[in-house]
Amino acid sequence: MNGNGPEGEAWAADGKDKAMVVGDDELKGGDEVEKEGVQKTEGNVLEVEDLKKYYKLKGELFSKPRYVKAIAGVSFNIKPGEMMGMVGETGCGKTVVARLIVRVEDPTGGAIRFHGVDIAKMKGKKLRQFRKNAQMIFQDPYASLNPRMTVLQSVSEPLFNYGMRKEPEKVYTKVVKALEDAGLLPVKEYLERFPHELSGGERQRVSIARAIILKPSFIIADEPVSMLDVSIRAGIMQLLLSLREEYGIACLLITHDFSVARYVCDNITVMYLGRFVEKAETEELIQNPIHPYTKALLQAVPVADPTREKEELPISGDIPSPIDTPSGCVFRTRCPYAIDSCADSMPELVEMRPGHKVACHRVARGEI
């Protein structure tokens, strides 16, 4: 074993100055990760209720405050082992939802409960447990990995941060298992490599190994394959599915690509300008889209063939600014079916077919 192996002291040193490292006095027992593991629960892993996030804009002194309404009230639940897809065009608020769930930012309104506990009220040990149990995988694995850390250092760092600093051999075994689970084989060939020595797909697998090593019950994957070559996307998507099979990990998959959501997700929610406009089980939504926005997205997207070029959206105009959102239905400025009364009030999600909800006044009235 070389100096960077489990017998060496140096191999995890980089991890010690990270923000989430806990103090030595909190490391009693040393096997916090072992004991907590994946939480078994009968209820939902995640409950999001009327979530809102407004960003205040800097304005003139004494002028009326203006806000970016990034999230304007969304609700959803995710069960253990469930894969939920969140699809929408750029700027619709997908990443903000993710940031609120992992408590990188605080919401303006609404509630997020993780295994039944309001995350806004979590402190100390409960908050640390939550951060361990809810992991995030990012779009750009190169940016999310420390370029100066080897694969072994990167993947072991979360364990050191969560109380296993004094058990290097146990950590090493767990790193090997996480890399195996992430499909990086033979593991020994990857341990001492740096991010720049890996392909994009390999880097994303290292990020996934880093996320699963803490045995989370929930992962948010924000566009996990959009920066990867089409040829290696399926492998990463298959990996996400195998994590559900093996560990029962629930997942919120954020993507602008229906073909990715279709491959991985049990159900899909379509988002527009900070709101949900349609949600249903995956095949139901793709075979029977109802909302005019979902229909337009699906016409433009090669769902059955991810290698086909994307076509122009068959709706006119750009997404309005989230600072001056349209009154009533926020989609009305682009909707081919809009009529004057669509400006009167925001449509609520209404169940139109079993388990299939749509937010459109005219659909609810049976007019379209």
Binders of ligand SF4 among residues 286 to 345 (CB under 6 A) are: 292, 329, 331-332, 335, 337-338, 342
Interatomic CA distance for residues 13 and 297, integer angstroms = 48
Q: How far is the CB of 322 from ligand SF4 (least distance, A)?
A: 17
CA 157, CA 154: separation in Å to the nearest integer? 5
Closest distance to ligand SF4 from the beta carbon of 335 (Å): 3
For Mg ion, which is the closer residue by CB, 220 or 236? 220
Residue 70 binding target from ligand ATP, ligand SF4, Mg ion, none, CB below 5 to 8 Å by type: ligand ATP
**Which CB, 21 or 364, lies closer to ligand SF4?**
364
What residues make contact with ligand ATP under the rule CB under 6 A?
A: 55, 68, 70, 88, 90-96, 256, 322
Stretch that binds ligand SF4, among 63-71, 170-178, 247-255, 356-364 (CB under 6 A): 356-364
At 139, give phi and psi (nearest 5°): -65, -45
Interaction of residue 176 with ligand SF4, rule CB under 6 A: no
For ligand ATP, the closer of residues 208 and 273 by Cβ is 273
- Taking the complex as a whole, the smallest distance from the CB of residue 50 to ligand ATP amounts, in Å, to 17
Residue 287 beta carbon to ligand SF4: minimum distance, rounded to whole angstroms: 20
Q: Buried b vs exposed e over 70-103: b needs ≥16 C-beta within 10 Å? A: bbbbbebebebbbbbbbbbbebbbbbbbbbbbbb
Toward Mg ion, which CB reaches closer, 209 or 271?
A: 271
Residue 167: CB atoms within 10 Å = 19
Minimum CB distance to ligand SF4 smaller for 47 or for 278: 278
- Please provide residue 58's backbone torsions phi and psi, each rounded to the nearest 5 degrees: -70, 130
* CA nearest to 301, candidates 312, 293, 316: 312
- C-beta of residue 37 within 8 angstroms of C-beta of residue 73: no
What are the DSSP E strand ranges found in the chain?
46-56, 67-78, 83-87, 109-114, 117-118, 134-137, 218-222, 250-255, 267-272, 275-281, 350-353, 356-358
Give 210's Cβ-side CA count (13 Å radius).
26
- Considering only residues 67 to 126 of the shown chain, the ones binding Mg ion according to CB under 5 A are 94-95
Q: Which residues of this chain interact with Mg ion, rule CB under 5 A? A: 94-95
Q: Which residues of this chain interact with ligand SF4, rule CB under 6 A? A: 292, 329, 331-332, 335, 337-338, 342, 347, 360-362
